[in-house]
């Protein structure tokens, strides 16, 4: 397989679109979000936190204080892969995020 073929296959591979959570264990504060590639988004968040460059200053402060051990990073739910590779999943992700926000009973006092 040549390089172009490998790149094409990678781009066509379905991504696990879904909802993720970053939970600060000691305070219970949580960041919940949705992404077309939830595991990749969590990896990006963790990398930003480790490099002290996350835009959410409260989350960054808690990470700096407690480190990786003080947090749970997880994908909560994923959508089934779409039948067509270029399907827009934004409405489905918004609905899934809303359902998880209600299920976790998140209010502004415990969210980042």
Domain that includes residue 27, residue range? 15-79+88-103
**What is the predicted pLDDT for the residue at 106?**
84
In a domain, 56, yes or no: yes
Query: What CATH number is associated with residue 58?
Result: 3.40.1440.10
**What is the predicted pLDDT for the residue at 87?**
87
When computed from its CA atoms, the radius of gyration of the chain, rounded to whole angstroms, is 16
Encoded tokens for 67 = 């480190």
Specify the number of domains making up the chain. Answer: 1
In a domain, 5, yes or no: no
Residues 72, 69: Cα–Cα separation, whole Å: 8
Q: Which residues contact 27 (CB under 8 A, 6 or more apart)?
A: 62, 110
**What is the predicted pLDDT for the residue at 78?**
98
**What is the predicted pLDDT for the residue at 95?**
98
**What is the predicted pLDDT for the residue at 11?**
77
Q: What is the mean pLDDT of each run of 10 residues along the chain (112 residues)?
A: 84 88 97 96 98 98 98 98 86 97 84 92
Encoded tokens for 32 = 């919940």
The structure's pTM equals 0.85
In a domain, 59, yes or no: yes
Residues 69, 64: Cα–Cα separation, whole Å: 11
**What is the predicted pLDDT for the residue at 108?**
67
Residues 22, 81: Cα–Cα separation, whole Å: 24
**What is the predicted pLDDT for the residue at 91?**
96
In a domain, 92, yes or no: yes
């Amino acid at each position: 397989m040549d390089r172009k073929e490998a790149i094409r296959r990678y781009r066509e591979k379905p991504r696990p679109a879904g909802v993720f959570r970053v939970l600060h264990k000691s305070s219970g504060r949580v960041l919940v979000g949705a992404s077309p590639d939830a595991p990749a988004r969590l990896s990006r968040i963790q990398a930003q936190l480790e490099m002290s460059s996350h835009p959410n200053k409260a989350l960054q402060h808690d990470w700096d204080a407690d480190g990786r051990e003080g947090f749970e990073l997880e994908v909560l739910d994923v959508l089934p892969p779409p039948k067509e590779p270029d399907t827009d999943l934004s409405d489905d992700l918004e609905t899934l995020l809303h359902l998880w926000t209600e299920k976790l009973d998140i209010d502004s006092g415990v969210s980042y």
